[in-house]
C-alpha cells in the first residue's frame, strides 16, 4: 500500500467531504498556472517579462533562455521584443543551466526560466557546479513557486527555498506582487552574481503600490506596523499577511508586516530589530514547506542572537506531498489563505 | 601559437611535447604519491596535439579574448591538463612541486578559480559539453572566430546531460564546437562496456547531428589530421573526435599492470616510471 494509505478518491471522497472543507463548494482544479488574483483585485500583466524587456534596453548583454516554458514564465514577452537574444533550449533543464553558464562565461547575462520544481529538483548540481561555484552572472527565474498550481507534487515546488538556501553564493529572492517582481527584476539584473528568483506570471496581483515600498536587494521592509503581532513574510504571503492584518483589525488585533523578499542573504538586522521589539507574537508566513524556508531561517537568526519573542509560529505548507485541486481550496486546506492565517494567529494570541 | 610552433626553428616536435606532458604528469604523481596517472599518460597525445598544434592561445595572457577555449569536463584529469599547461608555459614549471598540496593552484580536481588556463570547474561529470554549448553560442553572439573544445571521458557518455548537450549543439549547428572524447574503456567500477555500453559511438554522434571521427588517440599524426579536419570542416555542424587511447601509455610496466580507474603506483615506482618513459623516448 502506498504511504498515502488506501485509495481515497471517487465516490468515497464525495460522500465524506473533509472536515476542514465543510461548507466550501467543490471547485474545479485550477489551471496549470492560475492567477492568484482574487476576483476584482487589481493586477498587472506579465511584470517579469515587461521588466526584463525594459532592463534589456540598456543592457545588450542580457539574453533570455528557457526550457520550453517561455509562455508559462512570461519570457515570451522578451522573446517577442528581442528574438535574436532569446534562446529556446528545448525541454532540457540540465542543458539550460549549463548553456547559461557558458554564455555567462562569455560575458552575457542570461535570464533563464523554467518551473521552480525543475530548477530546484532536477538541475541543482548544474546550478551549483556549473554556475554558482564559479560565481557566474546567471539569473534563474522560476514560475510555480510553492503552492501556486493545483496539479500536485510534480509541479508544486514546496521545497525550492530550502534547496536553494543551502547553495553557497546564491542570492534567493521571493517577491510579492507585480510591483515587487518588476523592481526585483531590475535589481537582480544590476547585481553581479547568480540569483534564484521566484516568479508569478500572467495577471499578477498588484498590492504594494498602495504602500510606501520599494524593492531593494537584500533588504527587508516594514510594510505596516502593529503592536500585537509581527508577521515576517515573503512572496505572495506578504499580500496574504496584509489581508490578514485587515481581517484581524476587526478583532482589534494590531498586526505588523515585515516583508522579506530577499531570503538570502537574509536581512538579519531588520528581523532582529523588529522581533526584538518585545511583547509581540512573531509569525513567519511563507508559500513553502515548514522545513528549510524563511521560517527556519528567521528562527535560527533569533536563536543565535538570543532574541526571544513572546511566541514564535509558522504559517507554512506542511512537510508533505500536497493534494491536487483548486488553489482556493488548497490554500485554505494548508493554512495559507488570509482566512486560515487569521485563525492560526488568533489561536496563538 | 600554432603558427609559432611551426615557424620556430628547432621547435620541439609534437612527440617531444607529448613526452614532456607525460613526464610532467609523472613528476606530479611522484610529489603527491597518487593521481589519475593512467588517464594522464593515455590522453597526453591528445593534449599535445591540442596545445601545440590546434589551439590558438597566448601563454602570458591565459584569458586573451580571442583564444580558443579548452574545457576540461573530466575534473580528475587535472593532472594531465596541468602537465600540458606547464609545457605550454601557462603555469610555471616550479609549481609542479605543489600539485595536490594545501594552497596549491593545482588541486587534484580541476577548478576554474584555482588555475590559470582552467576554463571551467569540471569534475561533476557530464557538465562540460553543456557549458561548451553555451560558450559556443556566446562566441557566435560576439562574432568570434574562436573554437571551444570540450575534453570529456567515455564515462561521461553515461550521463544524460551529455546527450542533451549533444542534441542542442546539433540543433544550433555549432561549427565552433569540437568535442574530444577520451575512450580508454575504464570507469570507476570496471571496463566501460560492462558498466554501460555506449557503442556504436560515431553513429550515435552522427545521429545527433555531429561530424564524427574516430581515431587512434595515441597516434599523433592521425590526431593532427583529425583535428585539422574538425577545424576545417565547412559543414555547419559540431565536431567530435573520438580518441581511442591506451591507459598508462608510454610506461610499459604500467601499461601491462591490471588496469583500474585509479591506478596504484608504489612510491618507489614513480622514478622507475619516469626512467621507463625516458627509455622509450630514447629507443
List residues bridging with A282 in a β-sheet: A230, A312
B61 vs B228: CA distance, rounded Å: 25
List residues bridging with B242 in a β-sheet: B181, B214
A134 touches chain B (CB under 8 A): yes
Min distance A123 CA to chain B CA atoms (Å): 10
B127 and A134 within 8 Å at the Cβ level: the answer is no
If you measure CA to CA, which chain B residue comes closest to A132?
Answer: B121
Residues in chain A with CB shorter than 8 Å from the CB of B167 are 90, 92
For residues A12-37, average pLDDT: 71
Span of A23-32, A130-139, A220-229, B225-234 with lowest mean pLDDT:
A23-32
Query: What's the ipTM?
Result: 0.95
Contact of B177 with B148, CB cutoff 8 Å: yes
For residues B94-100, average pLDDT: 96
Span of A21-30, A40-49, A74-83 with lowest mean pLDDT:
A21-30
A97 and B130 within 8 Å at the Cβ level: the answer is yes
Work out the pLDDT band at A30, boundaries 50, 70, 90: confident
Closest to A63 in 3D by CA, of B206, B267, B142, B47: B142
What does the pLDDT look like over A173-190, one tens digit per residue? 999 999 999 999 999 999
A294 vs A273: CA distance, rounded Å: 17
Q: What is the 3-state secondary structure (H, E, C) of B263-282?
A: CCCCCCHHHHHHHHHHHHHH
Work out the pLDDT band at A278, boundaries 50, 70, 90: confident
B124 and A95 within 8 Å at the Cβ level: the answer is no
Residues in chain A with CB shorter than 8 Å from the CB of B138 are 102-103, 105-108
A58 vs B117: CA distance, rounded Å: 32
- Is the per-residue pLDDT at A5 higher than 60? no
Question: What is the structure's pLDDT at A179?
Answer: 98
Closest to A237 in 3D by CA, of A323, A152, A177: A177
- Is the per-residue pLDDT at A4 higher than 90? no
| Cβ neighbours around A11 below 10 Å, total | 7
Span of A29-43, A335-349, B34-48 with lowest mean pLDDT:
A29-43
Answer with the residue of higher pLDDT: A12 or B93.
B93
Contact of A288 with A281, CB cutoff 8 Å: no
* pLDDT > 70 in chain B, percent: 96
Instruction: Give me the torsion for CA of A206, A207, A210, A215, rounded to 10°.
Output: -90
A50 vs B218: CA distance, rounded Å: 55
B139 touches chain A (CB under 8 A): yes
Residue B27's φ and ψ, nearest 5 degrees, are -65, -40
Q: Is B243 helix (H, G, I), strand (E, B) or coil?
A: strand
A100 vs A118: CA distance, rounded Å: 15
Question: What is the structure's pLDDT at A29?
Answer: 83
Distances (CA, A) of B208 to B34, B183, B201, B234: 38, 19, 11, 18
Q: Among B131, B141, B164, select the one facing A101 at the smallest CB separation.
A: B131
Residues in chain B with CB shorter than 8 Å from the CB of A169 are none
Work out the pLDDT band at A198, boundaries 50, 70, 90: very high
What does the pLDDT look like over A45-59, one tens digit per residue? 999 999 999 999 999
Residues in chain A with CB shorter than 8 Å from the CB of B134 are 98-106, 110
B80 vs A343: CA distance, rounded Å: 64
Q: Is B151 helix (H, G, I), strand (E, B) or coil?
A: strand
Question: What is the structure's pLDDT at A8?
Answer: 54
For residues A147-162, average pLDDT: 96
For residues A70-74, average pLDDT: 97
Work out the pLDDT band at A12, boundaries 50, 70, 90: very low
For residues A250-264, average pLDDT: 98
B119 touches chain A (CB under 8 A): yes
B117 touches chain A (CB under 8 A): no
User: Strands A255-259 and A229-233: what pairing?
Assistant: parallel
Question: What is the structure's pLDDT at A151?
Answer: 93
Work out the pLDDT band at A35, boundaries 50, 70, 90: confident
Between chain A and chain B, the number of residue pairs with CB atoms below 8 A apart is 95
B68 touches chain A (CB under 8 A): no
Q: What is the mean pLDDT of chain A?
A: 94
Contact of B261 with B248, CB cutoff 8 Å: no
Q: What is the mean pLDDT of chain B?
A: 94
B168 and A125 within 8 Å at the Cβ level: the answer is no
Distances (CA, A) of A4 to A7, A22, A146, A321, B27: 8, 22, 21, 9, 59
- Is the per-residue pLDDT at B256 higher than 50? yes
A108 and B136 within 8 Å at the Cβ level: the answer is no
B173 touches chain A (CB under 8 A): no
- Residues 88-127 of chain A whose Cβ lies under 8 A from any Cβ of chain B: 89-90, 92, 94-95, 97-108, 110, 125-126
Which site among B71, B73, B110, B134 would you substitute to test the A interface, given the most A Cβ atoms closer than 10 Å to its Cβ? Answer: B134
For residues A280-304, average pLDDT: 98
For residues A118-131, average pLDDT: 98
Contact of A281 with A348, CB cutoff 8 Å: yes
Residues in chain B with CB shorter than 8 Å from the CB of A136 are none
Question: Left if phi > 0, otherwise alpha if psi is -120 to 50, otherwise beta: which for A202?
Answer: left
A315 vs A342: CA distance, rounded Å: 10
If you measure CA to CA, which chain A residue comes closest to B129?
Answer: A98
A91 vs A80: CA distance, rounded Å: 20
Question: What is the structure's pLDDT at A31?
Answer: 80
For residues A77-89, average pLDDT: 98
Question: What is the structure's pLDDT at B8?
Answer: 55
Closest to B192 in 3D by CA, of B164, B166, B153, B152: B153
* pLDDT > 70 in chain A, percent: 94
Residue B214's φ and ψ, nearest 5 degrees, are -125, 125
If you measure CA to CA, which chain B residue comes closest to A89?
Answer: B168
* pLDDT > 90 in chain A, percent: 88
Question: What is the structure's pLDDT at A22?
Answer: 67
Which site among A63, A105, A131, A137 would you substitute to test the B interface, given the most B Cβ atoms closer than 10 Å to its Cβ? Answer: A105
Span of A6-15, A326-335, B162-171 with lowest mean pLDDT:
A6-15
- Is the per-residue pLDDT at A199 higher than 50? yes
- Is the per-residue pLDDT at A3 higher than 60? no
Work out the pLDDT band at A17, boundaries 50, 70, 90: low
Question: What is the structure's pLDDT at B175?
Answer: 98
A102 and B124 within 8 Å at the Cβ level: the answer is no
Amino acid at each position: 500500500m502506498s504511504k498515502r494509505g488506501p485509495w481515497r478518491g471517487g465516490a468515497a471522497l464525495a460522500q465524506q467531504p473533509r472536515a476542514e472543507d465543510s461548507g466550501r463548494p467543490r471547485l474545479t482544479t485550477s489551471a496549470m498556472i492560475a492567477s492568484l488574483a482574487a476576483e476584482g483585485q487589481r493586477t498587472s500583466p506579465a511584470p517579469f517579462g515587461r521588466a526584463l524587456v525594459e532592463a534589456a534596453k540598456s543592457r545588450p548583454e542580457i539574453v533570455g533562455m528557457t526550457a520550453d516554458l517561455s509562455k508559462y514564465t512570461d519570457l515570451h514577452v522578451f522573446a517577442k521584443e528581442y528574438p535574436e537574444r532569446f534562446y529556446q533550449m528545448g525541454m532540457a533543464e540540465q542543458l539550460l543551466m549549463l548553456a547559461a553558464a557558458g554564455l555567462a562565461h562569455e560575458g552575457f547575462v542570461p535570464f533563464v526560466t523554467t518551473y521552480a520544481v525543475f530548477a530546484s529538483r532536477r538541475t541543482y548540481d548544474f546550478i551549483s557546479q556549473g554556475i554558482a561555484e564559479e560565481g557566474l552572472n546567471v539569473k534563474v527565474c522560476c514560475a510555480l513557486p510553492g503552492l501556486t498550481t493545483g496539479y500536485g507534487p510534480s509541479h508544486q515546488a514546496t521545497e525550492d527555498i530550502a534547496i536553494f538556501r543551502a547553495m553557497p553564493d546564491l542570492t534567493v529572492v521571493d517577491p510579492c506582487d507585480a510591483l515587487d517582481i518588476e523592481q526585483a527584476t531590475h535589481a537582480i539584473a544590476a547585481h553581479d552574481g547568480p540569483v534564484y528568483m521566484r516568479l508569478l506570471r500572467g495577471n499578477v496581483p498588484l498590492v504594494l503600490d498602495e504602500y510606501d515600498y520599494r524593492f531593494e536587494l537584500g533588504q527587508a521592509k516594514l510594510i505596516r506596523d502593529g503592536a500585537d503581532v509581527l508577521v515576517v513574510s515573503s512572496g505572495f504571503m506578504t499580500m496574504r499577511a496584509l489581508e490578514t492584518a485587515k481581517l484581524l483589525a476587526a478583532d482589534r488585533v494590531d498586526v505588523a508586516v515585515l516583508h522579506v523578499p530577499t531570503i538570502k542573504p537574509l536581512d538579519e538586522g531588520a528581523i532582529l530589530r523588529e522581533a526584538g521589539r518585545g511583547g509581540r507574537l512573531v509569525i513567519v508566513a511563507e508559500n513553502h514547506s515548514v522545513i528549510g524556508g524563511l521560517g527556519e531561517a528567521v528562527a535560527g537568526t533569533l536563536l543565535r542572537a538570543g532574541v526571544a519573542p513572546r511566541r514564535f509560529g509558522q504559517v507554512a505548507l506542511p512537510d508533505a506531498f500536497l493534494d491536487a485541486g483548486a488553489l482556493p481550496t488548497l490554500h485554505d486546506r494548508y493554512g495559507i489563505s488570509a482566512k486560515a492565517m487569521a485563525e492560526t494567529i488568533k489561536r496563538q494570541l | 601559437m600554432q603558427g609559432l610552433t611551426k615557424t620556430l626553428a628547432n621547435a620541439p616536435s609534437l612527440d617531444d611535447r607529448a613526452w614532456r606532458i607525460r613526464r610532467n604528469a609523472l613528476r606530479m604523481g611522484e610529489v603527491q604519491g597518487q593521481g589519475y596517472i593512467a588517464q594522464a599518460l593515455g590522453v597526453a597525445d591528445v593534449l599535445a596535439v591540442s596545445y601545440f598544434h590546434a589551439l590558438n592561445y597566448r601563454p602570458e595572457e591565459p584569458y586573451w579574448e580571442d583564444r580558443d577555449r579548452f574545457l576540461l569536463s573530466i575534473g580528475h584529469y587535472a593532472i594531465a591538463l596541468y602537465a600540458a599547461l606547464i609545457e605550454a608555459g601557462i603555469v610555471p614549471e616550479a609549481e609542479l612541486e605543489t600539485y595536490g598540496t594545501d594552497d596549491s593552484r593545482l588541486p587534484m580536481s580541476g577548478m576554474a578559480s584555482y588555475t590559470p588556463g582552467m576554463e571551467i570547474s569540471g569534475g561533476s561529470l557530464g557538465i562540460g559539453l553543456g557549458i561548451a554549448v553555451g560558450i559556443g553560442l556566446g562566441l557566435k553572439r560576439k562574432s568570434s572566430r574562436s573554437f571551444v573544445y570540450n575534453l570529456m571521458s567515455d564515462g561521461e557518455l553515461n550521463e544524460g546531460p551529455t546527450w542533451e548537450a549533444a542534441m542542442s549543439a546539433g540543433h544550433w549547428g555549432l561549427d565552433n564546437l569540437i568535442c574530444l572524447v577520451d575512450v580508454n574503456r575504464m570507469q570507476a567500477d570496471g571496463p566501460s562496456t560492462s558498466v554501460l555500453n555506449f557503442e556504436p559511438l560515431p553513429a550515435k554522434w552522427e545521429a545527433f547531428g555531429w561530424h564524427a571521427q574516430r581515431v587512434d588517440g595515441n597516434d599523433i599524426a592521425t590526431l593532427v589530421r583529425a583535428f585539422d579536419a574538425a577545424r576545417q570542416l565547412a559543414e555547419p555542424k559540431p565536431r567530435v573526435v573520438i580518441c581511442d587511447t591506451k591507459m598508462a601509455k608510454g610506461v610499459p610496466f604500467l601499461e601491462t599492470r591490471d588496469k583500474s580507474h585509479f591506478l596504484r603506483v608504489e612510491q618507489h615506482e614513480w622514478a622507475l616510471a619516469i626512467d621507463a618513459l625516458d627509455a622509450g623516448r630514447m629507443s
